[in-house]
């Protein structure tokens, strides 16, 4: 089962725990309280939405997405920021289902496109994204500046 989960939902605490696992997976210190508060703040201030995959009633995967103005087309686009499936639940289609759920919702909301980014060496993620129809964007370079 895939569902949107917000701060007022009973599953939000378990989703925050899973998000903390995701952070730890990428080398961050575990900080459940701070993680939960950050997710609540992002949902309230930036409109971040969280989609969760459930197995046996517990979240086993998550995806976060932001709705961003698409100024040239006077619409919006959806930017997938995080996609994580707990290692014990990988290979079962949860990531694919989370992506499909998000793309369907974006289409229903008349979003112009759904975008995401990943590291060039993340072959498994790139293969998944390409298998569901995402394509590499030619002609663009990604820049970053630490604030």
CATH label of the domain that carries residue 35: 3.40.630.30
Q: Which residues of the chain have pLDDT under 70?
A: none
Residue 8 lies in a domain: yes
Q: Quick one: pLDDT at residue 143?
A: 84
What's the predicted TM-score (pTM) here?
0.92
Residue 27 lies in a domain: yes
The CA distance from 53 to 18, in Å, is 11
For the chain, the domain total comes to: 1
Task: Supply the range of the domain harboring residue 17.
Answer: 2-131
Q: Quick one: pLDDT at residue 147?
A: 86
Q: Quick one: pLDDT at residue 1?
A: 92
Residue 67 lies in a domain: yes
Residue 45 lies in a domain: yes
| Two tokens, residue 75 | 């619409």
């Amino acid at each position: 089962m895939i569902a949107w989960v917000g701060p007022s939902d009973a599953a939000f605490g378990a989703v925050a725990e899973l998000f903390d696992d995701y952070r730890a997976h990428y080398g961050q210190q575990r900080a459940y309280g701070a993680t939960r508060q950050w997710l609540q703040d992002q949902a309230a201030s930036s409109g971040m939405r969280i989609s969760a995959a459930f197995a046996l009633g517990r979240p086993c995967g998550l995806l976060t997405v932001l709705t961003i103005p698409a100024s040239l087309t006077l619409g919006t686009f959806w930017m997938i920021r995080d996609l994580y499936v707990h290692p014990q639940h990988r290979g079962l289609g949860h990531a694919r289902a989370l992506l499909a759920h998000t793309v369907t919702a974006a289409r229903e909301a008349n979003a112009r496109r759904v975008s995401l980014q990943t590291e060039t060496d993340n072959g498994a993620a790139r293969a998944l994204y390409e298998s569901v129809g995402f394509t590499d964007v030619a002609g663009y370079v990604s820049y970053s500046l630490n604030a």
